[in-house]
Amino acid sequence: MAREDRRLTNIKQDAITEINYYPSKQSVPEGELTIATPKGKPARLYKKLKGMLWWSNFTQDGNQYVDKNLNVDNDLIYKGYLRNSNYPAFSAYPSTDEDGTEATIATSTNTRVNFDSEDYDIGGNYDTSAYKFIAPVAGIYHFDARILWDGNVDPTDGDWTAGERHDAWFVKNADGTNPSSSNRVAADIDIVSGTISDTVLMNNLSADLKLDAGDYITVAVWQNSGTNQYIYEPAGSSLWSNFTGHLITAI
């Protein structure tokens, strides 16, 4: 018999132990293969090498389950849809329109906008009572805000004069109805260039922001018309004034 044939003939298969629970490192002998098949959980293959316990899930339907992080050195390529459960994303709007005190903006006053209703809040990170999004993890987040201004209580009958200005801000980690301008992290500024009548104006604010876990973002506005102005939002809709955001990537 050839030497290689004799070697293959004399190879001894490692002993394989089958158990009905996931073992600890201490319970698996060095070098042993163990198959764990707990009821209602994926079957796993374990092996202990140099004091470390290595394991991998089996699959019976083509789906693979990973309990912790999945580290990929190069590209992650998939042909289906990317589905992220609880990935932070929200859309909020003010339930009170221009006739309500919550949407009345005094002149030359930093005023928080109370976005107190939601279209959706995946992950549950938007607070409708404090009107803020709270970052669950450190990451880069994208936010948009749209503010429809009305010069009086009639949403189709606003009059504006040259030099009137409307600001919309993203404010970071500032509580209260009148946040300090020092907490601004993004701004959109619109200035009326000439007198116009019977119309509405709109701020559109968009920004990518780096946040730590626990940081929070609210929306504030400012105007200098010399009289109260209003934020228009028909109840039950985010069509006109809204605040949206989502996580781009955790870091």
What length does the chain have? 251
User: pLDDT confidence of 125, banded at 50, 70, 90?
Assistant: very high
Position 3 confidence tier, pLDDT thresholds 50, 70, 90: low
Please check whether residue 186 is in contact with residue 207, taking contact to mean a CB–CB distance below 8 angstroms.
yes
Is 170:143 a contact under the CB 8 Å cutoff? yes
From 142, 115, 151, select the one nearest 130 (Cα to Cα).
115
Residue identified by tokens 């504030």 is 220
Q: What is the CATH number of domain 89-250?
A: 2.60.120.40
Contacts of 164 by beta carbon, 8 Å cutoff, 6+ apart: 191, 192, 223, 224, 225
User: Rounded CA gap, 24 and 181, in Å?
Assistant: 55
pLDDT attached to residue 170 = 98
pLDDT of residue 209: 98
More confident residue, 31 or 234: 31
Q: What is the pLDDT of residue 31?
A: 86
Sequence spans of domains, the chain: 3-57, 89-250
pLDDT band for position 173 (cuts 50, 70, 90): very high
Q: How far, CA to CA in Å, does 124 sit from each of 106, 110, 141, 171, 215?
A: 32, 27, 15, 20, 15
Query: Would you say 219 and 243 are in contact if contact means Cβ atoms under 8 Å apart?
Result: yes
* CA-derived radius of gyration, the chain: 29
